[in-house]
Every structure is written in C-alpha cells, then in structure tokens.
Chains A and B, each alone.
Chain A
Amino acid sequence: MSDAIISVRDLHKWYSGVHALKGVTLDFKRGEALGLVGDNGAGKSTLINILSGVHRADQGEIKVEGRDVSIATPRDSMDLGIETIYQYNSMVPTMSIARNLFIGREPTRFSILGVGILDQKKMAEESVRAIANVDLHLRSPDALVGELSGGQRQGVAIARAMHFKSKVMILDEPTNHLSVKETNKVIGFVRGLKEQGVTGVFISHNMHHVFDCCDRIVAMARGEIVLDKRIGDTSIDEVHSVL
C-alpha cells in the first residue's frame, strides 16, 4: 500500500438522484501512468472532478500519501500536489503565457491579505524555464495563449503543473480536438512524466492513445470499475469488450 500516492475507498456520488459513482475503490501508484477509460457517463469525469476539488464526494474516503484528506476546492487539490488539465484546457486565451502559468499562484513582492504586487521579473524568468523544461518551443512568454495551437496550450498547461511540482497530474481528455501531430506531442508529454517522477492519470476516449503512453489501464462503466490491469496483460479488444 505504501506505493499508493492517492487511494480512494468506496467513493459514492449522486447527481440529483443519479448514482454516478457506485463505491469506487482505487489506488493510484506512485510514478505510474494510469489510463482511465470509459464511455460518456461511466463516471470517470465524476471521479476526476472529486479528486480535483470541483465536486465533493457524498460518501467514501480519500488518502493522499497515506493521510486522510478532504478536498473541498480546486485549491485544496492543487495544494496536495494534484494538478488537473482539462479538455477545454485551463488557460485564459486573452492573457499571456507568463500570466497564465501563474494564475491563482502569482508570485508577489509583498502582499496584504493575499493581495499584492506581482513579481513580474520572477514570472518572466520562471515561465521561460518552465516552458523549456517540457521541451516546448515558444517565441516568448509574453505571447498570448489565444495565439497558440491546441497542442501548445496543453503543453503550457503541463509546464505549469510541472513548475508547481505537482505529484499527480490528471489529464482529462487532453487530446480532444487536436491534430495527429499535436496529439503525439501530448502523448510524449505523458510519457515524459515518469522520468520526472510524476504520477499521470490520463483520461481518454481513444484506446490507442491510452495504450501508447500508460502502464496500467482502468476501465469504468455505469459508475463502477470493470477492469484494472497492466497494459501488458490486456488488449484493446479486451477493454472494449467490458465497456
């Protein structure tokens, strides 16, 4: 059990009468890339939303690195080292890359009650480094996110998660609406997480993408886990058959 970075026990969630999550128990192991698959409404987004603090579970417990935790807000989740990258991507297109990297966690030179003067020098320097670290080649951290391609935006989101030393990175359908080339890039990012010692949770509709970059696959259907195997012990056909 000691190698589980997050473990959830008997997690339940109801949405106005719909039992969306029916007692899910799952260990996310340190340093592994876990692929989470399932049809729409299978409960994967519900599970992820609970871990990232968007929703609260109605029942069940969550442990992070062995400690019982309560995740009430996205901020709680981020403070525990869990970073979530959404399919719609969590970037503000009208703002620069540097500003986006630090949204909600801006370095300040001094502050009163959490509000303070931005340390723009630090933001510029650190964003250059953060982007270079994920092997993303961008003109300048002052470029607007609205100018970037979908793949580049996901790259910046991943750079942001890496920069804040997240321990678990949840990627919710990060390859949706991306071209083949861009998709490969994102898959490359997910493979790269392992080298950095980051646990990856990769959610996708596309089985090929999951098999391309994950160590373990968990399939969900109707709010329950229906398959949990190492990639080497299963096949795309088997996963399809249980969904």
Chain B
Amino acid sequence: MKRLFKTYLEKPELAGLILLVLLVVLFQVRSHGVFLNQDNLRGILGILPEAGLVAIGVTILMISGEFDLSVGSVFALMPMTMAVLMVHGWPFPLALLAGLLVSAAIGFINGYITIRFAIPSFITTLGMLFMARSLTVVVSGGFPPLLPADLPTWLFTSFVGPGNMFRMSFLWFVAVAVLTSLMLSRTNFGNWIKATGGFLPAAAAMGIPTARVKIVCFMLCSVLSGFAGMLQVLRLGSPLPSIGEGMELQAVASAVIGGASLAGGIGTVMGGVVGTTLIRVIDNGLVLSHVDANWFKFAIGFLTIFAVVANAWMRKRAKAIKMEG
C-alpha cells in the first residue's frame, strides 16, 4: 500500500484501464455479444485513430504544463489546406508536407505567444481555435473543394490485416503511440517535458530550455491534430470545414480520464489512448445497448469529473498512507 502514490504517479492510466475492461464486459453482455464481434470492432478501430492522435498530442502538451484548445480547428484546417492546394494542381506528397507545415506553424505561434507574453495557453489557443476555424472556411471559399480521385488511401485509410480488421490509420496511430510513449519514458527530451511540467522553476534552474520544450510540444500537438484531420478527410472523402468541432474538449477529457494532470508533470501517452478508447467504447456501447444516444455526452462529462475526483482522492489517500507508514 505504501507504493500506491508511486504507482499512481507512474501509471495514472491504471484506473481508466480497469474502467475500460469493465465497460467492455458490460457492453458485451448488454448487447448480447454484438459489441465484440468483428464488424463492430472494425467500426470502433476505424475511427479511434483520429481522436486518438489528437489526444496523444494534447496529453503530451498537458504533461509539459500547457493546454491546446485549437486542435479541433487545426484538425479541419490542415486537410482543407491540402485539398485547396491539390485543386491547384499540387501533388499529394507536397500538399501533405504543406499541410503539416501549416499545422506546425500554428503550434509554434501558440507556443511562442504563450511563452513570450506569459499568458495562459488557454487564452492563446482559444483565440487560435476561432482564427484557424475561420481560416478553414475562408480558404475553402465556402465550398468544400473536390478531392482528386487518385489519393493514396492505401497508405492511410484502406482496410488491412486479418479479416480486414484494421484501417491503415490504425497502424499509424499505433506507431505514433509507441514512438511518443518511448520518447516520454526513454529519452532525455521526455525527461525534460516531465520536468518542465512537473516543476518549472526547478527545470529552468537545471538548465533545461523550458521554452523550447514547450514550443516543441505545442508543435507536436498541432501536427498530430492536423494529421488526424487528414485521416478523417481521407476516410470521409470530402474536406468539410466543420470537422473536428468540439474535438478539443473531448481530447482534454481523454487525457484527464487517462490520468493526466491539468497542472502538468503527470500523465502518459497510454493514458491518452485509454481515455480516447473509453470515450469511443461508451459512444458505441450505448447505441448497441439500446440506450438513447443522447446520453453519450452525459456519460463523457460524468466520466471526466469522476476521473479527476478519483485521481485527487487517490493522491490524497496515497499521501496519507505514506505518513502513517
């Protein structure tokens, strides 16, 4: 029991993971075995990467002690930029590069303004939420441009694997999750991210370039969001300017449900993945259990508050145990 505090800080996603298993069992029973059948899993895994990639970016940024509300808008702006460029004859790889650069630039602006003027990232990125969304509509000229027919969907959204179980996007998602997870836990840069968010004055005093660390996290978050937006557009086949609305808050919910702390320093990529999966499972499971789908947002809201309260309780409890010991 004495190690509870340590366990909590090292594996903050544990509570979410347990809840996920319980919910899967519950939905499996309630849906009379439909929930875990191949078609349904295929459906869940097909859209999970989009929200999941955004959640990974938001989680890492939260660990570094900052916050991004503009991810939903970047999610729409990046593929829109690509679509418009392709209409003007740009080949896909160049358009992709340009889209990613636009995303990275937005992340840089978010980070630079937040740090240079020492304002809360909540405000900077709230502003960016509106600006990037507006830009999306402006560049589209009001009409979603037509995508060329020869897009490399085989690389991003085609079904692959045994029984065509996964989309390619799922493999991208797993690769990004593994890489970012290793970055956080196994590289010195990951150490700097955790130190920067854990206790900024100490990180700065030990010579960590905290401003640069945060700006890189902002940029990573934006790039992942833009990339995720492109995956959705390739899946849907049309760059709608309204995609990703409300995504910013769901991504924060994912991170928090997965155990990340709004105060920074605590959290894991795995937690963000677990949080996103929980949200997708609830969304799907409610429908299969014949519950009115309008309860979905209620469930997410409840879960978010519950997760934070439970985490705070666990932290307090763990500290109390330590003192008794």
A residues bordering B, Cβ < 8 Å? 52, 54, 73-75, 78, 84, 86, 88-95, 99, 102-106, 108, 111, 114-118, 120, 142-144, 146-147
Lowest 10 CB-CB distances: which A-B pairs, in order?
Answer: A75-B207, A92-B198, A106-B188, A104-B206, A94-B265, A94-B198, A104-B207, A90-B202, A103-B206, A92-B199
Interface hub of B187, B191, B208 (most chain A Cβ within 10 A)? B191
Contact among B5, B186, B191 for A146, CB-based, below 8 A: B5
Contact A93 B207 (CB under 8 A): no
**A152 CB to nearest chain B CB (Å):** 13
Mask for B222-234, Cβ within 8 A of A = 1, else 0? Answer: 0000000000000
Contact A118 B206 (CB under 8 A): no
A-B contacts, 8 of them at CB < 8 A, read: A74-B207, A92-B199, A94-B198, A99-B194, A105-B206, A115-B188, A146-B5, A147-B6
Closest to A73 in B: B207
Contact among B186, B198, B201, B207 for A95, CB-based, below 8 A: B198
Contact A93 B198 (CB under 8 A): yes
B306: interface (CB < 8 Å): no
**A201 CB to nearest chain B CB (Å):** 16
Report the separation of the CA atoms of residues A25 and B308 in the bound assembly, to the nearest whole angstrom: 53
B176: interface (CB < 8 Å): no
Report the separation of the CA atoms of residues A209 and B152 in the bound assembly, to the nearest whole angstrom: 71
Report the separation of the CA atoms of residues A104 and B199 in the bound assembly, to the nearest whole angstrom: 13
B204: interface (CB < 8 Å): yes
Closest to A91 in B: B202
Report the separation of the CA atoms of residues A78 and B265 in the bound assembly, to the nearest whole angstrom: 24
Contact A144 B192 (CB under 8 A): no
Given contacts A103-B202, A143-B6, A147-B6, contact A95 B194 (CB under 8 A): yes
B203: interface (CB < 8 Å): yes
**B21 CB to nearest chain A CB (Å):** 26
Contact A144 B207 (CB under 8 A): no
**B179 CB to nearest chain A CB (Å):** 12
Report the separation of the CA atoms of residues A86 and B201 in the bound assembly, to the nearest whole angstrom: 10
Contact among A52, A91, A104, A142 for B208, CB-based, below 8 A: A104
- B191 — which chain A residues lie within 8 A by C-beta? 95, 99, 102-103, 106, 118
Closest to B318 in A: A147
Contact A117 B208 (CB under 8 A): no
Closest to B205 in A: A90
- A115 — which chain B residues lie within 8 A by C-beta? 187-189
- A106 — which chain B residues lie within 8 A by C-beta? 188, 191
Contact A116 B9 (CB under 8 A): no
Contact B188 A92 (CB under 8 A): no
Closest to A86 in B: B205
Report the separation of the CA atoms of residues A91 and B194 in the bound assembly, to the nearest whole angstrom: 12
**A181 CB to nearest chain B CB (Å):** 17
Report the separation of the CA atoms of residues A105 and B206 in the bound assembly, to the nearest whole angstrom: 8
Contact B202 A146 (CB under 8 A): no
- A147 — which chain B residues lie within 8 A by C-beta? 5-6, 322
Contact A89 B187 (CB under 8 A): no
Contact A88 B206 (CB under 8 A): no
**B320 CB to nearest chain A CB (Å):** 13
Closest to B261 in A: A94
Report the separation of the CA atoms of residues A142 and B189 in the bound assembly, to the nearest whole angstrom: 19
- B206 — which chain A residues lie within 8 A by C-beta? 74, 78, 90, 103-105
Contact B199 A74 (CB under 8 A): no
Given contacts A95-B194, A95-B195, contact A78 B207 (CB under 8 A): yes
- B199 — which chain A residues lie within 8 A by C-beta? 91-94
**B190 CB to nearest chain A CB (Å):** 8
**A177 CB to nearest chain B CB (Å):** 15
B220: interface (CB < 8 Å): no
- A111 — which chain B residues lie within 8 A by C-beta? 188
Contact A144 B6 (CB under 8 A): yes
Report the separation of the CA atoms of residues A115 and B187 in the bound assembly, to the nearest whole angstrom: 7
**A227 CB to nearest chain B CB (Å):** 29
Report the separation of the CA atoms of residues A88 and B204 in the bound assembly, to the nearest whole angstrom: 13
- A78 — which chain B residues lie within 8 A by C-beta? 206-207
- A144 — which chain B residues lie within 8 A by C-beta? 5-6, 9
Given contacts A88-B201, A99-B191, A103-B195, contact A117 B207 (CB under 8 A): no
Report the separation of the CA atoms of residues A120 and B186 in the bound assembly, to the nearest whole angstrom: 8
**A92 CB to nearest chain B CB (Å):** 4
Report the separation of the CA atoms of residues A106 and B188 in the bound assembly, to the nearest whole angstrom: 6
**B133 CB to nearest chain A CB (Å):** 33
B266: interface (CB < 8 Å): yes
- B192 — which chain A residues lie within 8 A by C-beta? 103-104
**B17 CB to nearest chain A CB (Å):** 20
Contact A52 B187 (CB under 8 A): no
- B322 — which chain A residues lie within 8 A by C-beta? 147
Given contacts A92-B194, A94-B194, A95-B194, contact A116 B188 (CB under 8 A): yes
Contact B187 A118 (CB under 8 A): yes
Interface hub of A78, A90, A106, A146 (most chain B Cβ within 10 A)? A146
**B306 CB to nearest chain A CB (Å):** 22
Contact A74 B205 (CB under 8 A): yes
- B187 — which chain A residues lie within 8 A by C-beta? 108, 115-118
Contact among B194, B202, B208, B265 for A89, CB-based, below 8 A: B202
